[in-house]
A and B are shown apart, each in its own frame.
Chain A
Amino acid sequence: MDYLSKDIRAFIEENFLFGGSAEDISDDGSLIAEGILDSAGVLELVAFLEGTYGIQVADSELLPTNLDSINRIAHYVVRKQACLQAARVA
């Protein structure tokens, strides 16, 4: 999970902070309230998650509860990967 959070943080720093540090943002800090993500940014984030972790983000899952902090994103990815794994096993 730490590794995942680090990756997500690096993506956010590169693409939304343009190299600026996200160290002021805690893993639980809201990315919208901090002015880091806008509506187009969320879609860029989704494209990154789908491309990097092989998951599919359904429209119904486009929710701040899933995607509005580094921790939430990491947990969401873990959950989605677990579902994928379970589906493969089944």
Chain B
Amino acid sequence: MCGIAGVVDFQRGAPQARLLERMAARMAHRGPDDCGVWHGGEVALSHTRLAIVDPQHGAQPMHTGDGRLSVSFNGEIFNHRELRALLEKQGRPFRTHHCDTEVVLQAYAHWGEGCFERFNGQWAIALWDADRRRLLLSRDRFGICPLHYTQAGSAWVFASEAKALFCHPAVAPAVDVDAVCDILRFWTPLPGHTAFRNVSELEPGCCLAIEPQGVRHWRYWQLDYRPDYGRRDLDWSEELRALLSDAVRLRLQADVPLGLYLSGGLDSSVVGALADQLLSARGDAQRLSLFSVQFDEQDVDERHFQHGMAQRLGRQPHALACANAAIGQHLIQAVRHTERPLFRTAAVPLFLLSRRVRAHDHKVVLTGEGADEVFGGYDLFKEAKLRRFVARQPGSKRRPLLLRRLYPYLPHLQTQSPEYLHAYFQVDSDHLDDPFFSHRPRWRNNARLERFLSPEVRHSQRQRDPLAELAAWLPQRFSDWDYFERAQYLETTMLLPGYILSSQGDRVAMAHGVETRPVFLDHRLAALAARMPAEVKMRVLDEKHVLKQAAGDLVTPQVLRRPKQPYRAPESVCFRGPDGDLAEPLAELLRPASIRRHGLFDPDAVSRLLSKARTAPLRSFTDNAALVFILSTQALLQEFVPGSSSQ
């Protein structure tokens, strides 16, 4: 991966190269191997390079031989060899041997705006078409690579990371209070928005064309669920195994060593086993290194499963022993990269892990990210299924007890009565047709954090209806899908790009120049899963059932049988200093003067939360999320808009 940035201005011409150099320098962590700037009159492009494919010939911005097309490209087109062969047959001229950036240029030259549908990969692309005076921005289908943009007078400015936009003299960073409140509720801004006012993010699967006559925005890819009930389980699992193996094969392409984030869960274990098989068949097994995180706290530590799987793969993992204090110490640094508030500390160990990866001279890692969205692995899917089951027999005393099984790792849920479980999980037969049925309890719980907002901010939100905005954004087909598919769509298009792939993915990996390759987000796999009926993905309460059928033989029995556990890290305990108070410099972020300076939160409510945390470690998920959210938001404000009030 790399960092891209640029400016197009049809009235005043693009700014001096020096600005582009500053923008690139602001994202030097994304591409420490090289840096290039190109000025083309109305447009200027910059590129910081992380050299992974064809290191000798991939310098960017890159141009076609005739100079008509120029590109700044972050990411990978994994099927570039197949596309190159197709294009060569059509007589397209290539100057490099196997550089995927040149394939992007020639694919656009040949297929025009339709080229992106042919790409299998992860990308943020800025392509200048000089004949048409068109700057085209494109982002991959799931939002693996980030791409931000804004308008400043007659100029359009874009960059992989928002921080680079703020180098432009006409782009001043300011917090978008509405977006922060949406993040509080959904854990992500509404699609296309960011935590910064007037800074947009190109939505996954979308393109934006900026031309003298105006701007066009369109979606080139849309996830759609059309279940096929006529196939046998075996057909699904065989097709999945073959496709999964091919998705891994494509993602093993690199001219540098490869790593794998081995979490100890099913998904990364399957990816590791398939990668090992493919590399061993080429006699290249030692090319794959394993990287894992381990914690002091047993309830979130997964080393037992990591060891078992690593042993099966015949290699020793590079294990990062992540101490609680290290998480607290690096929170602010991590937020500098995520550029949005966090709710869990889990991003910080991944920030530290990428540093470890880099220290071992690796810059590409395969991950298991995306499997839970594609194959229905999250507890939320199970929860939605159970809530429906319980709601159909409202008087049953036994059915609600099944809700305890949802979160075996939350001890306080295990003692609750059926009546309480009924109430917590909002089991109500009146809600069965609600389009947001699956997500209501989560969003309601998140909204509890609103009590920490300042009265002014709370007041400003009274006129807004973010759920109506979200409903208006949904595709027409949404109403045709069943509850499971709706839940999958919401997870895949909101939390996945807005939190998992950004704050826990690209942003904390690229902080140290490490590219993540989430194998399960090969769009062919997502399309296959979208044809599977819900029962194929979740058989009764067996999540990712089809994946276990297809690839269960590749992992240890312990990994296959273990109950689903989301990746978690220790929470508020990481922020405590030796005296039980918040450690510095985090304490400074939450002092009443700091809180008042930014105006987002109520200093009194924050002080009371801190008192509660001082008395005993916070037990409730909501209290922990509140502390991480407030700390990370304050860190974000301190970093990007110090001294200014959000009012």
- Docked complex Cα distance between A62 and B419 (Å): 9
Residue of A nearest to B610 (CB): A18
Are A42's CB and B619's CB within 8 A? Answer: no
Contacts of B619 in A (CB 8 A): 40, 43-44
Q: Which residues of A contact B417 (CB under 8 A)?
A: 59-60, 62-64
Tell whether, in the assembled complex, residue B448 and residue A35 are in contact, meaning their CB atoms are under 8 Å apart.
yes
Within 8 A of B (CB), among A60-75: 60, 62-65, 68
Answer yes or no: A39 CB below 8 A from chain B CBs: yes
Residues of A participating in the B interface, judged by any CB pair closer than 8 Å: 14-15, 17-20, 30, 32-33, 35-36, 38-44, 59-60, 62-65, 68
Residues of B within 8 A of A36 (CB): 448
Instruction: Return B559 CB to nearest CB of chain A, in Å.
Output: 29
A39 touches B419 (CB 8 A): no
Interface residues of B, dominant DSSP: helix
User: Which of B420, B606, B612, B621 has the most chain A CB atoms inside 10 A of its CB?
Assistant: B420
- List the count of A-B residue pairs having beta carbons below 8 Å apart: 73
Q: Are B415 and A19 in contact (CB under 8 A)?
A: no
Residue in contact with A43 in the complex, picked from B415, B447, B621, B623, CB distance below 8 Å: B415
Kindly supply a per-residue 1/0 record for chain B positions 80-120, scoring 1 wherever the CB is within 8 Å of any chain A CB and 0 otherwise: 00000000000000000000000000000000000000000
Top 7 nearest A-B pairs by Cβ distance?
Answer: A40-B620, A18-B605, A18-B608, A32-B423, A40-B412, A40-B619, A19-B608
Assuming the A-B contacts A14-B608, A44-B620, A62-B416, are A35 and B423 also in contact, with contact meaning beta carbons closer than 8 angstroms in the complex? no
Q: Which of B594-639 contact A (CB under 8 A)?
A: 602, 604-609, 612, 619-623
B interface size (C-beta, 8 A): 29
Chain A: minimal CB distance from B528 (Å): 37
Interface centre among A18, A35, A40 (most CB of B within 10 A): A18
Is B444 part of the binding interface, using a Cβ–Cβ cutoff of 8 Å?
yes
Contact of A42 among B416, B444, B606 (CB under 8 A): B416
Residues of B close to A39: CB separation below 8 A? 410, 412-413, 416, 420, 424
Known: A35-B444, A38-B424, A40-B619. A64 touches B419 (CB 8 A): yes
**B interface with A by C-beta (< 8 Å):** 410, 412-413, 415-417, 419-420, 423-424, 444-445, 447-448, 451-452, 602, 604-609, 612, 619-623
> Are B447 and A35 in contact, CB atoms less than 8 angstroms apart?
yes
Known contacts A15-B612, A20-B451, A42-B420; can you find 19 more A-B pairs with CB under 8 A?
A: A14-B608, A17-B451, A18-B602, A18-B606, A18-B612, A20-B605, A30-B423, A35-B444, A35-B447, A38-B445, A38-B621, A39-B410, A39-B412, A39-B416, A42-B412, A43-B619, A59-B415, A63-B419, A68-B423
Q: How far is the CB of B105 from chain A (nearest CB, A)?
A: 53
- Whether the Cβ atoms of B445 and A18 lie closer than 8 Å is no
A59 to chain B minimum Cβ distance, whole angstroms, is: 6
Taking a contact as CB atoms under 8 Å apart, the answer to whether B415 and A62 are in contact is yes
With A38-B622, A44-B619, A68-B423 given, is the CB distance from A19 to B416 under 8 Å?
no
* Identity of the chain B residue whose Cβ is nearest the Cβ of A17 in the assembled complex: B451
- Return chain A residues, CB-CB under 8 Å to B423: 30, 32-33, 64, 68
Q: Could you give 9 example pairs across A and B, Cβ below 8 Å? A: A18-B604, A19-B604, A38-B621, A39-B413, A40-B619, A43-B412, A62-B420, A63-B419, A64-B420
Closest residue of chain A to B450, judged by CB? A35
Measured between C-beta atoms, what is the minimum distance from A89 to chain B in Å? 31
Assuming the contacts A41-B620, A44-B619, asked whether A65 and B420 have C-beta atoms less than 8 A apart, the reply is: no
